[in-house]
């Protein structure tokens, strides 16, 4: 990227009544929730669709694209209601500064929590339907016929009775003069022609030929480069530094002591990074320089023994029922801290010129980037522009804005010069916002027939909401810490879920699927333990526990769909074992079956992964398959090797040599079952993580004949065999 893309900035987001006659720029009312933050009395007009005179349809995308594919799926929803010819659609980013200028007309721009489709589908559909209505009305007026006699399809409006037709491009100017309807009818799902079809991602061709510009690719005239180092002990400060070895080195522009971190600014990043290694930094590590993983575990265990804990769910009387149970089963499960390890580390380019700030950042939340940039630079928010770029992975790490703040602090010190700040891999792994470690204790009571009558789940873990977001916890509960526990679907009359908040100096954040990446592991593995104690088949045991209600029918349907696809109950080759799990997360229902064998060297061969989802409506099946395949890669990396340990207040792992990623020759066969039941819009990007770990570990435990109750598997002497 040599210069900013100013085209979007020059576009005028106007009401339909004042749109230029060269094309149609469509406005429509967004939901009240999107305008509430502005304090407006009525919802704000928003522009999503432009139709050019040459019949090209420009659809704007107001989120971040980081490989999840929603830059294709979200515009598909608009194009469906518009009856657009997808071959004539061009997708463009919306910008955070335009969102600010139009009083947040685009609403939430953050790509987090698998929310892009499920939280915006209603107003995206309305955008397309409104455009279609106006185009049909314009054609009807021109022909002097009732609009009800006209039909829109594939960028054309036709009048079947007279066999006349006009393209959207021909109608755009006339349609722009019409008043947008306040309400429009949306299509019945049975009439969809685009949603549900496997559409190639719009960004893939440019990725393949290297045209896509990621944040790391930003290039500006006269740009400088910065490498940074923060205290190896979290929350430490710079005590002093000696940069005498590098100050006169070729290409070095400046060494900055910014209190919380040190930055070396140079004419290229390699020189900055190498010089930073030679800067002698004396760190004030504070009181946390002796923190260790063992001390953290002791802290968690102490939480388990607290007299009074926050209660997340309390049905019946679990303690009393456990005391009367015919059989009691108990187990502790543990999951570790995890770094995100995105392929593109934290990167942000900032350019401060007087009271104007421009930012190019690989960010999952461009609105937050704008706000943090303005606050750090000390300039008004309207003076900040954030230019969209593709992200080389996000996984939740690029939503918090610590790296944006660093980049702007450096740019402020180098006023007038654009500076690209890039973290090393070591900085990214050792200064992350980690998935919280969690200690989970399960205790269940079975009656004489083997039915589960009581369940007590206790969680001891840090709180993301309290530490990262500084939010008060409703009734002392962090929802991520107890996710899939407080809302489990099983018919267990006496259920108690309580939570011990045990924060440490290790910063925590939102790792892909967060609580659903770890809690279903504990829950569904423990359900297998209960099935074994009851002497029942794991699938039949789960189905027997699912009540006959509206919510649980989705648990049942996805479990049945996936186990049927996997051939559950059929004979397996000698030495091959199956494991199963199912759960709900991010508004969707998922299930997984894994088939594995373990040889004498403790090498796990994954013969097959059958994993499925019921997202309600499947917008782009091809993208769902890709998301699930990618989730298996990401999930298996964490299951086998993922672990960040603490010694002397520091994260011990530093790069891929000791924070292992899965390799191509280890990838198992993955079969994705898409079983949408309709009636709701669920997330897709994160739910696949939820059932994978328990299904795999249940299969491995069956193969070994013993239970594995902590991750990663490397700590149990297990390795992953080549596929």
The string of DSSP letters for 654-679 reads: -STTTS----GGGPPPEEEEE---SS
The whole-angstrom separation of Cα 169 and Cα 320 is 71
Domain annotation covers residue 49? yes
CA–CA dist 467, 469 (Å, integer): 6
Q: Which of 179, 202, 225 is the last residue of a domain?
A: 202
Same structural domain, 408 and 477: no
Residue 267 in any domain: the answer is: yes
Q: For the domain that residue 105 is a member of, what is the CATH number?
A: 3.30.365.10
Predicted local confidence at residue 2, as pLDDT: 36
Relative orientation angle of helices 689-704 and 519-534, to the nearest 10 degrees: 40
Average pLDDT, the chain: 92
Q: How far is CA 47 from CA 16, 30, 38, 102, 113, in A?
A: 9, 10, 17, 10, 25
The domain boundary, picked from 167, 202, 237, lies at 202
Residue 209 belongs to a domain: no
For 297-314, what is the mean pLDDT?
A: 97
Any domain includes 210: no
Tens of pLDDT, residue by residue over 91-117, are 999 999 999 998 888 889 999 999 999
Query: How many distinct structural domains can be found in the chain?
Result: 3
Share of residues in the chain with pLDDT > 70 (%): 94
Q: Is the pLDDT of residue 3 over 80?
A: no
Distance of CA 162 to the CA centre of its chain: 50
Shared domain for 153 and 16, answered yes or no, is yes
- The answer to whether position 478 is within a domain reads yes
What is the three-class DSSP state of 624? Answer: helix
pLDDT, tens digit (0-9, with 9 covering 90-100), for 312-357: 999 999 999 999 999 999 999 999 999 999 999 999 999 999 999 9
Considering the domain architecture, whether residues 497 and 559 belong to the same structural domain is answered as yes
Assess whether 539 and 661 both reside in one domain. yes
Identify the three-state secondary structure at position 412.
helix
Helix, strand, coil % in the chain, rounded to nearest 5: 35, 25, 40
With cut-offs at 50, 70 and 90, classify the pLDDT of residue 82: very high
pLDDT computed for residue 45 by the predictor: 24
Number of H helices, E strands in the chain: 19, 28
Q: Does a structural domain hold residue 133?
A: yes
Domain boundary among 374, 396, 422: 422
For residues 43 and 31, give the distance between their C-alpha atoms in angstroms, rounded to a whole number.
7
CA distance from start to end of the chain: 40
Neighbours of 457 (CB within 10 A): 27
Residue 43 is encoded by which pair of tokens?
């919802």
pLDDT tens-digit profile of 547-599? 988 889 999 999 999 999 999 999 999 999 999 999 999 999 999 999 999 99
DSSP state of 680: S
pLDDT digits (tens, 9 = 90+) for 414-472: 989 999 999 999 999 999 999 999 999 999 999 999 999 999 999 999 999 999 999 99
pLDDT-based confidence at residue 28 (cuts at 50, 70, 90): very low
- In order of 32, 79, 182, the CA distances from 187 in angstroms are 22, 12, 16
pLDDT higher than 60, residue 30: no
- Position 52 scores a pLDDT of 87
Q: Are 122 and 31 in contact (CB under 8 A)?
A: yes
Residue-wise pLDDT for 33-63, tens only, equals 233 333 333 212 237 999 988 999 999 999 9
CA distances from 711 to 109, 162, 446, 697, 717 (A): 34, 69, 27, 9, 11
Domain extent at residue 225: 215-286+346-422
Lowest mean pLDDT among 38-52, 69-83, 170-184: 38-52
């Amino acid at each position: 990227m040599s210069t900013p893309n100013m085209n979007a900035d020059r576009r005028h987001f106007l009401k339909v009544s004042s749109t230029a006659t060269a094309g149609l720029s469509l406005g429509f009312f967004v939901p009240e929730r999107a305008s509430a933050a502005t304090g407006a009395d009525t919802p704000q007009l928003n522009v999503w669709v432009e139709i050019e005179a040459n019949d090209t349809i420009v659809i704007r995308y107001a989120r971040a694209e980081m490989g999840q594919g929603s830059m294709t799926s979200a515009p598909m929803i608009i194009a469906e209601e518009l009856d657009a010819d997808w071959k004539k659609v061009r997708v463009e980013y919306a910008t955070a500064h335009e969102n600010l200028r139009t009083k947040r007309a685009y609403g939430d721009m953050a790509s987090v929590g698998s929310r892009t489709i499920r939280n915006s589908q209603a107003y995206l559909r309305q955008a397309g339907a409104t455009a279609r209505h106006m185009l049909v009305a314009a054609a009807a007026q021109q022909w002097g016929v009732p609009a009800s006699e006209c039909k829109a399809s594939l960028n054309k409006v036709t009048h079947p009775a007279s066999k006349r037709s006009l393209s959207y491009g021909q109608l755009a100017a006339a349609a722009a003069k019409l008043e947008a309807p306040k309400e429009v009818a949306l299509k019945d799902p049975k009439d969809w022609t685009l949603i549900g079809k496997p559409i190639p991602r719009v960004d893939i061709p440019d990725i393949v030929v290297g045209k896509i510009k990621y944040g790391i690719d930003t290039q500006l005239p006269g740009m400088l480069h910065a490498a940074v180092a923060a205290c190896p002990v979290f929350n430490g400060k710079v005590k002093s530094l000696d940069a005498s070895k590098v100050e006169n080195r070729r290409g070095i522009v400046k060494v900055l002591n910014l209190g919380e971190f040190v930055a070396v600014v140079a004419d290229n990043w390699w020189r900055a990074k190498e010089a930073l290694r030679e800067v002698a930094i004396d760190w004030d590590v504070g009181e946390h320089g002796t923190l260790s993983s063992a001390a953290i575990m002791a802290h968690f265990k102490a939480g388990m023994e607290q007299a009074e804990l926050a209660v997340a769910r309390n049905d019946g009387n679990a303690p009393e029922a456990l005391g009367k149970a015919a059989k009691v089963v108990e187990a502790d499960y543990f999951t570790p801290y995890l770094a995100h390890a995105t392929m593109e580390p934290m990167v942000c380019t900032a350019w401060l010129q007087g009271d104007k700030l421009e930012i190019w950042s690989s960010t999952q939340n461009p609105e937050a980037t704008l706000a943090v940039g303005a606050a750090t630079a000390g300039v008004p928010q309207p003076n900040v522009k954030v230019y969209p770029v593709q992200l080389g992975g996000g996984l939740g790490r690029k939503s918090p804005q610590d790296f944006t703040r660093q980049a702007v602090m450096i740019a402020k010190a180098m006023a007038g010069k654009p500076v690209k700040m890039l973290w090393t891999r070591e900085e990214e792994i050792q200064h992350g916002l980690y998935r919280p470690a969690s200690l989970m204790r399960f205790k269940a009571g079975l009656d004489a027939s083997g039915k589960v009558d009581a369940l007590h789940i206790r969680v001891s873990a840090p709180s993301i909401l309290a530490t990262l977001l500084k939010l008060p916890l409703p009734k002392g509960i962090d929802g991520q810490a107890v996710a899939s526990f407080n809302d489990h679907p099983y018919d267990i009359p006496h259920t108690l879920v309580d939570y011990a908040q045990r924060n440490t100096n290790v910063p925590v954040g939102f790792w892909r699927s967060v609580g659903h990446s770890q809690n279903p592991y504990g829950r569904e593995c423990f359900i297998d333990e209960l099935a074994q104690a009851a002497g029942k088949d794991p699938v039949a045991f789960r189905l027997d526990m699912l009540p006959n209600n509206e919510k649980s029918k989705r648990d049942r349907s996805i479990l049945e769909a996936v186990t049927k696809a996997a051939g559950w109950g059929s004979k397996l080759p000698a030495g091959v074992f199956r494991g199963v799990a199912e759960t709900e997360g991010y508004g969707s229902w998922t299930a997984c079956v894994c088939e594995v064998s373990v040889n004498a060297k403790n090498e796990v061969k994954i013969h097959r992964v059958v994993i499925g989802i019921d997202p309600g409506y499947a917008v782009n099946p091809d993208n769902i398959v890709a998301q699930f395949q990618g989730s298996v890669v990401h999930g298996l990396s964490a299951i086998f090797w993922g672990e960040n340990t603490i010694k002397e207040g520091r994260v011990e792992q530093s790069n891929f040599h000791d924070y292992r990623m899965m390799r191509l020759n280890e990838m198992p066969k993955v079969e994705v079952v898409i079983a949408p039941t309709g009636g709701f819009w669920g997330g897709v990007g994160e739910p696949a993580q939820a059932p994978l770990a328990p299904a795999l570990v249940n299969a491995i435990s069956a193969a070994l004949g013993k239970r594995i109750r902590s991750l990663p598997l490397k700590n149990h002497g297990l390795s992953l065999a080549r596929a």
